[in-house]
Amino acid sequence: MSLEELIQNYGYLAILVITFIEGETIVILAGIAAHLGYLDINLVALTAIAGSFAGDQLWFYIGRHWGPKIIAKRLSWQEGAEKVYKHLHRHQYWLILTFRFYYGLRNVTPFVVGSAGIPRLRFFTLNLIGAIVWAFIFAYTGFFVGEAFKYFIDDYHRYALYVLGGLVVVGLAIWIITMWRHRRHAREHGLK
Residue 107 DSSP one-character state: T
Q: What is the pLDDT of residue 153?
A: 62
What would you report as the CA-atom Rg of the chain, rounded to the nearest whole angstrom? 18
Secondary structure letter of residue 39 according to DSSP: S
Q: Give the pLDDT of residue 81.
A: 77
Residue 116 near residue 95 (C-beta atoms within 8 A) = no
CA 113 to chain centre: 17
Domain residues for 23?
A: 3-188
The pTM for the full model equals 0.77
Per-residue pLDDT of the chain (192 residues; tens, 9 = 90+): 777 787 888 889 999 998 998 878 889 989 988 988 889 999 999 999 999 999 999 999 999 999 888 888 877 777 777 777 887 878 888 988 888 887 766 777 898 889 888 999 999 999 999 999 999 999 999 999 888 777 766 566 666 667 667 777 777 777 678 777 767 766 665 544
Is 178 in a helix, a strand, or coil? helix
pLDDT in the model for residue 156: 60
Predicted local confidence at residue 95, as pLDDT? 84
pLDDT at position 161, please? 66
Alpha helices in 36-155 (DSSP H): 41-73, 75-90, 92-98, 108-115, 120-152
Q: Tally the domains of the chain.
A: 1
